[in-house]
């Protein structure tokens, strides 16, 4: 949605809308004619807008209520930002002088930098009225004040005071100058037959657009029905998107429900505004483009020099300013930010009355076409071609169309259809009536953090059509979720394309891709509206989709007299598999009453955009109201499996030497993400990962004593905890919240009978864990490996130490933290305390000790795991036994994390090539212990590009 349009709340809709903060902070002296005012704009974004423009181009931006900057491009091509202070409203101070309005500063500064006159040719009557034109004949630059243009280039030009010539800018290559009007045709024209348009085709394949620069477009007939047309636009280096246009010249046209009088109005709108992923229309594939028109001019087209009384700048001075100006090609990456028009002093006059180009105030790239992607997937498949689909996978899942609805059971079927697209069919059960069918080639997928629905395994599919409802999906078990994420990720948009800088590097094996993950750290929030009797939480949204939410906190007390109320949030999120295009991150606050009612938005949000030129954003301190946060998107190339062989070999042979250092130096949220990547690899391929985990556990137990076995944090405890948590959390949460008998027992107040109720609740919970463990073979396998390692370390006669190991891993590090986080603090602490007491008794050295029923159940569970040690099959040493189950996206993320930890090592001054570790390496590593083979180091460095 463009910022000039009102954002709509998504309450009551089928899916989240892409909204952004539109709070108006424009000074009262600024009018719509002041096209140089860009509103709230960071220095980074200002530099991006100034890049590639003419020296002398400038803008005025705002960074707070009273802080402004005049940003200008110097003659050497470097941006300069000069502060403007508003100390006493409405007066401004700039370079030691006082001005009444910002316009006075601009008018004072503009003639000293660059006069309005341009090469002897001025806009007609000194007034800029710009229009979009299409170049139909090649125009070769002969003079310094002329531009270059090729057939199909879109130009923004205005009439001049010399007949036959127009002044403006080529939107395709960025050149600025004058051009013969006879070479151009207005983009908005009244045509009775669309075949008269130079960029219209009856039938044509997308290859006509594919091999042209990003922003190239054409119009053709669509096979979807009468009076339907497809606008083909190249929006990424390997993607041509298709947008459905319905209508006729007699009654007008419509794109995604938006009416337009002519096709030209459609194109003009998306020449000024991004149509998808920050890409505008800049070049048309014309029918006669292959027949290059002669660029030589006839004698009637010779431009004679004009006389002028304006002596502000001579032609030689003008040539000095513009000499050696290089043509700059538009960025051809996905995710580039909106290339918004920049007001330049060469295009402004004192009596200008038009808003030459749209101001980019508060403009950010959504990375998604407007109105939930106004796009239509129009396959080039004949009606006579067989369109039978091929079923890829089917499974049982949970679905809902809105966040506040209840989950419903459903049956999912993933199918590939001829032509390259894929469909996801949703039914109530296998073989029942079809409820919904989604074209995945027009959908964006979002991974949802477990904090959104208090459960793992959830994702969101955002379809392109407004008529299609949004879809939330939840998969059980977590292994099924991981497998479906991989299948959906390769079939949805903005997920599976390698970074441009690596396309030449990655050339071996199967088609390559990339995976992106988002790191968000929210420190605190300050606002005068915070109330001491309320609780507050923070939401993280991507393109309007909530992907994470923090716990609730109350405002901090003991604030100073001049200090704003503050909520310390201290929450960190790592969201994998996010879109790789330009992505809006929105942070918002929710207020909650102490009575537990549903939270309400506080009305305070911050929206920032991550794109190819700006992958991170942060705000370290807040002088006024707002968030203190940091967000960064990290992109990792996903290589073919054989390229990861050196890394996989090292993981199999010496995992501790590879992973111990990252587990020590990484921030907690990135360290947890590293453990999650290992957990995902184990869930998807336990045959390969079981020997790896065995070696990690053995390394830790080598230095452990009977008193502190797995009581201290280590690489092994982190990996095992994360693995068991992913396997156990969802079913355990459901038991704690939905089991009627357990809820009834825990709701009883502590009385003479309340103690018995609490013991009964603990016994019921332990019985559930015992029975559930039998149905999760991956968890049983993991605990059996830990029991085997403990028995090898302490001996078979010390069986109580083996039980103590299992108690520390399963009870202390997994179940009790889930109990604390799921139940309220009072009941949760009592339940967790009793469970731990029962586990300690079960692992007691005294076999004759009297045990409670809960402790007896835990001991029986531990003894069963110990018996299974001798029954487990011998683990295979071949790490490629099941290569199809090695999901390389998680190896890619793991390589990135390891490489990131090495940058922390290097910045701390440690040696880059330390000696190799000893054979008895442990999880307690030092910088001198970190040693990587050259081939592994090169592979890891490749993921840091």
Domain with 429 in it: what CATH number?
2.30.29.30
Residue 289 burial (10 A CB sphere; 0-12, 13-18, 19+):
buried
Does residue 680 sit within a domain? no
pLDDT at residue number 170: 86
Per mean pLDDT, which of 315-324, 341-350, 691-700 is the most reliable?
691-700
Query: 600: domain CATH number?
Result: 2.60.40.150
| Residue 21 pLDDT > 60 | no
pLDDT of residue 674: 94
Residue 815 lies in a domain: yes
* pLDDT value at 599 more than 80: no
Query: What mean pLDDT is predicted for residues 395-419?
Result: 89
Closest CA to 413 of 339, 429, 186: 429
For residues 333-359, b (16+ Cβ closer than 10 Å) or e, as one string?
bbbbbbbbbbbbbbbbbeebeebbbbb
Q: Based on the domain organization, do 184 and 288 belong to the same domain?
A: yes
pLDDT on residue 789: 92
**42: CATH:** 3.30.505.10
Residue 389 backbone dihedrals phi, psi, to 5 degrees: -95, 160
Q: Are residues 839 and 926 in the same domain?
A: no
Tell me what the mean pLDDT of segment 549-568 comes to.
81
Query: What is the tally of structural domains in the chain?
Result: 6
Pick the closest to residue 168 from 182, 160, 178, 183 (CA basis).
Answer: 178
Name the burial class of residue 538, with classes exposed (0-12), middle (13-18) and buried (19+) by CB atoms within 10 angstroms of its CB: buried
58, two tokens: 């400038």
pLDDT, tens only, 33-66: 677 788 888 777 777 667 656 677 778 888 877 7
Mean pLDDT of 67-82: 79
pLDDT at 450 over 50: yes
Confidence of residue 596 (pLDDT cuts 50, 70, 90): low
Q: How far is Cα 515 from Cα 499, in angstroms, rounded to an integer?
A: 9
Token pair belonging to 661: 């250092």
Tell me how far CA of residue 51 lies from CA of 146, 147, 217, 578, 736, in angstroms.
20, 18, 24, 28, 57
Confidence of residue 390 (pLDDT cuts 50, 70, 90): confident
- 208-248 pLDDT, tens digit per residue, is 887 788 889 999 998 877 889 999 998 887 788 899 999 98
Residue 668 resides in a domain: no
Mean pLDDT of the chain, nearest integer: 75
Residue with tokens 């990962």: 689
**Is residue 697 within 8 Å of 680, Cβ to Cβ?**
no
Give yes or no for a contact between 699 and 717, defined as CB atoms under 8 angstroms apart.
Answer: no
Answer for the pair 782, 678: CB distance below 8 angstroms, yes or no. no
Q: Is residue 478 part of a domain?
A: yes
CA distance 793 to 695: 12
Mean pLDDT of 147-171: 85
Q: Would you say 421 and 440 are in contact if contact means Cβ atoms under 8 Å apart?
A: yes
Q: How far is the CA of 242 from the CAs of 163, 196, 493, in angstroms?
A: 39, 21, 13
- Compute CA distances 416 → 262, 425, 465, 577, 673, whole Å: 37, 11, 20, 21, 32
Which pLDDT score, from 0 to 100, does residue 48 have? 65
- In terms of average pLDDT, the best of 311-315, 557-561, 760-764 is 760-764
Same domain for 558 and 421?
Answer: no
Picking from 833, 852, 873, the residue at the C-terminal end of a domain is 873
513-526 and 534-542 as β-strands: parallel, antiparallel, unpaired? unpaired
Whether 324 shows a pLDDT value over 70: the answer reads no
Q: Are residues 512 and 440 in the same domain?
A: no
- Return the pLDDT at 160: 72
Which of 251-260, 298-307, 686-695 is the least confident region? Answer: 298-307
Distance in Å from the first CA to the final CA of the chain: 32
Residue 130 DSSP label: -
**Domain of 485?**
390-493
Instruction: Calculate mean pLDDT across residues 811-829.
Output: 85
Share of the chain above pLDDT 90, in %: 21
Is 644 among the domain residues? no
Q: Are residues 136 and 271 in the same domain?
A: yes
Judge whether 378 lies within some domain. no
In a domain, 27, yes or no: no
Q: What is the mean pLDDT of residues 610-633?
A: 77
- The residue written with tokens 């477009």 in the block is 217
Q: Which residues pair with 91 in a beta bridge?
A: 88
pLDDT, tens digit, for every residue of 907-943? 444 433 333 333 333 334 444 456 788 888 888 888 8
> Taking the CB of residue 220, how many other CB atoms lie within 10 A of it?
23
Verify that 212 and 64 share a domain, yes or no. Answer: no
> Is the pLDDT confidence value at 379 over 60?
no
pLDDT band at 559 (very low <50, low <70, confident <90, very high): low
Whether 291 shows a pLDDT value over 90: the answer reads no
- For residues 160 and 236, state if they share a domain: yes
Tally of CB atoms within 10 A around 315: 15
Q: Residue 735 and residue 739: Cα distance in Å, rounded?
A: 5
Q: Which residues contact 452 (CB under 8 A, 6 or more apart)?
A: 403, 458, 546, 547, 548, 549
Q: Are residues 338 and 447 in the same domain?
A: no
∠ Cα 302 308 312 (to 5°) = 120
E-assigned strand segments in 261-334? 283-284
Mean pLDDT of 119-145: 69
In a domain, 23, yes or no: no
Residues 600 and 753: their CA atoms lie apart, in Å, by 39
Does 410 score more than 90 pLDDT?
yes
Last residue of a domain, one of 846, 873, 900: 873
C-alpha 33, offset from chain centre? 35
* Residue 48 CA neighbour count, 13 Å, CB half: 21
CATH code (residue 749): 1.10.506.10
Q: Quickly state the pLDDT bin for 874 (edges 50, 70, 90).
A: low
Gap between the Cα atoms of 603 and 590, Å rounded: 8
Residues in the chain: 945
pLDDT digits over 509-541, tens only? Answer: 333 478 889 999 999 888 888 888 888 899 999
| Candidate ranges 6-20, 594-608, 877-891; pick with highest mean pLDDT | 594-608
563, 705: one domain? no
- What are the pLDDT digits (tens) for 835-871? 999 999 998 887 777 889 999 999 999 999 999 888 7
Percent with pLDDT over 70 in the chain: 72
Whether 176 and 93 map to the same domain: the answer is no
pLDDT at position 230: 92
Q: Are residues 101 and 201 in the same domain?
A: no
Q: Same domain for 206 and 320?
A: yes
More confident call, 175 vs 346: 175
Of 460, 493, 526, the one marking the end of a domain is 493
């Amino acid at each position: 949605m463009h910022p000039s349009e009102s954002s709509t709340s998504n309450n009551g809709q089928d899916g989240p809308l892409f909204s952004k903060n539109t709070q108006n902070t424009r000074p009262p002296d600024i009018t719509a004619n002041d096209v140089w005012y860009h509103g709230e704009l960071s220095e980074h974004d200002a530099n991006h807008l100034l890049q590639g423009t003419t020296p002398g181009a400038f803008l005025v931006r705002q960074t707070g209520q009273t802080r402004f900057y005049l940003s200008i491009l110097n003659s050497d091509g470097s941006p300069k930002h000069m502060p403007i202070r508003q100390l006493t409203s409405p007066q401004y101070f700039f370079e030691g002088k006082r001005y009444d309005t910002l316009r006075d500063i601009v008018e004072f500064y503009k003639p000293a930098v660059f006069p309005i006159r341009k090469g002897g040719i001025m806009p007609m009557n000194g007034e800029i009225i710009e229009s979009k034109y299409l170049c139909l004949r090649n125009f070769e630059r002969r003079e310094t004040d002329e531009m270059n243009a090729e057939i199909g280039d879109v130009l923004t030009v205005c009439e001049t005071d010399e007949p036959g010539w127009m002044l403006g800018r080529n939107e395709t290559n960025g050149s600025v100058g004058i051009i013969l009007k006879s070479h151009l045709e207005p983009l908005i024209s009244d045509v009775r037959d669309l075949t008269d348009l130079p960029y219209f085709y009856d039938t044509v394949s997308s290859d006509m657009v594919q091999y042209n620069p990003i922003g190239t477009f054409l119009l053709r007939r669509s096979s979807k029905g009468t009076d339907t047309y497809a606008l083909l636009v190249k929006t990424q280096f390997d993607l041509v998107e298709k947008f459905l246009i319905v209508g006729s010249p007699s009654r007008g046209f419509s794109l995604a429900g938006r009416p337009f009088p002519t096709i030209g109005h459609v194109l003009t709108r998306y020449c000024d505004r991004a149509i998808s992923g920050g890409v505008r229309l800049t070049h048309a594939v014309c029918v006669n483009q292959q027949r290059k028109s002669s660029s030589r001019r006839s004698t009637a087209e010779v431009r004679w020099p004009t006389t002028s009384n304006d002596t502000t700048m001579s032609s030689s001075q003008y040539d000095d300013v513009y000499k050696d100006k290089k043509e700059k090609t538009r960025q051809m990456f996905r995710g580039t930010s909106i290339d918004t028009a920049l007001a330049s002093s060469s295009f402004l006059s004192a009596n200008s009355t038009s808003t030459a180009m749209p101001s980019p105030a508060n403009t950010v790239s959504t990375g998604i076409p407007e109105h939930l992607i106004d796009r239509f997937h129009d396959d080039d498949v004949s009606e006579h071609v067989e369109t039978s689909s091929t079923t890829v996978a089917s499974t049982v899942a949970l679905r809902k169309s809105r966040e506040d609805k209840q989950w419903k059971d459903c049956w999912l079927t993933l199918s590939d259809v001829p032509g390259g697209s894929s469909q996801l069919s949703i039914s109530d059960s296998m073989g029942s009536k079809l409820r919904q069918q989604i074209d995945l080639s027009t959908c964006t997928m979002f991974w949802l953090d477990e904090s959104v629905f208090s459960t793992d395994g959830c994702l969101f599919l955002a379809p392109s059509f407004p008529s299609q409802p949004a879809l939330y999906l939840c998969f059980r078990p977590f292994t099924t979720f991981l497998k479906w994420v991989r299948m959906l990720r390769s079939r949805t948009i903005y997920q599976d394309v390698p970074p441009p800088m690596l396309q030449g590097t990655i050339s071996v094996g199967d088609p390559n891709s990339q995976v992106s993950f988002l790191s968000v750290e929210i420190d605190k929030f300050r606002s005068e509206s915070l109330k001491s009797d309320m609780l507050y939480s923070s939401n993280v949204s991507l393109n309007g989709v909530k992907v994470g939410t923090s716990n609730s906190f109350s405002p901090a007390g003991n604030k100073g007299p001049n200090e704003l109320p503050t909520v310390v949030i201290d929450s960190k999120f790592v969201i994998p598999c996010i879109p790789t295009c330009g992505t809006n991150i929105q942070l918002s606050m929710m207020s909650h009453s102490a009575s537990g009612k549903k939270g309400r938005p506080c009305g305070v949000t911050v929206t920032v955009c991550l794109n190819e030129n700006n992958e991170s954003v942060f705000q370290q301190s807040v002088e006024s109201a707002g968030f203190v946060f940091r967000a960064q998107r990290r992109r990792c190339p996903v290589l073919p499996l054989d390229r990861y062989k050196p890394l996989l070999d090292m993981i199999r042979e010496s995992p501790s030497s590879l992973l111990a250092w990252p587990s020590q130096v990484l921030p907690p949220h990135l360290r947890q993400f590293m453990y999650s990547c290992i957990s995902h690899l184990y869930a998807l391929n336990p045959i390969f990962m079981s020997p790896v985990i065995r070696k990690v556990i053995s390394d830790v137990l080598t230095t452990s004593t009977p008193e502190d076995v797995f009581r201290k944090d280590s690489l092994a405890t982190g990996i095992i905890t994360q693995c068991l948590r992913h396997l156990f959390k969802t079913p355990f949460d459901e038991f704690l919240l939905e089991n009627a008998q357990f809820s009834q027992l825990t709701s009883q107040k502590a009385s003479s009978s309340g103690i018995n109720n609490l013991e009964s609740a603990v016994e019921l919970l332990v019985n559930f864990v015992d029975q559930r463990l039998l149905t999760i073979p991956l968890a049983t396998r993991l605990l059996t490996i830990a029991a085997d390692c403990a028995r090898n370390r302490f001996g078979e006669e010390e069986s109580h130490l083996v039980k103590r190991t299992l108690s520390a891993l399963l009870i202390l590090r997994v179940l009790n933290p889930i109990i604390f986080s799921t139940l309220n603090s009072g009941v949760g602490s009592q339940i967790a305390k009793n469970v731990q007491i029962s586990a300690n008794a079960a692992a007691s050295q005294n076999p004759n000790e009297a045990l409670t029923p809960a402790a007896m159940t835990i001991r029986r569970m531990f003894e069963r795991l110990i018996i299974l040690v001798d029954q487990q099959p011998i683990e295979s040493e071949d790490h490629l036994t099941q290569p199809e189950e090695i999901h390389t996206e998680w190896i890619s993320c793991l390589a990135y994390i390891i490489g990131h930890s090495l940058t922390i090592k290097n910045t701390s001054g440690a040696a880059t090539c330390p000696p190799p570790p000893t054979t008895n390496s442990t999880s307690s590593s030092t910088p001198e212990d970190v040693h990587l083979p050259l081939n592994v180091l090169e592979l890891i460095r490749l993921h840091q590009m």
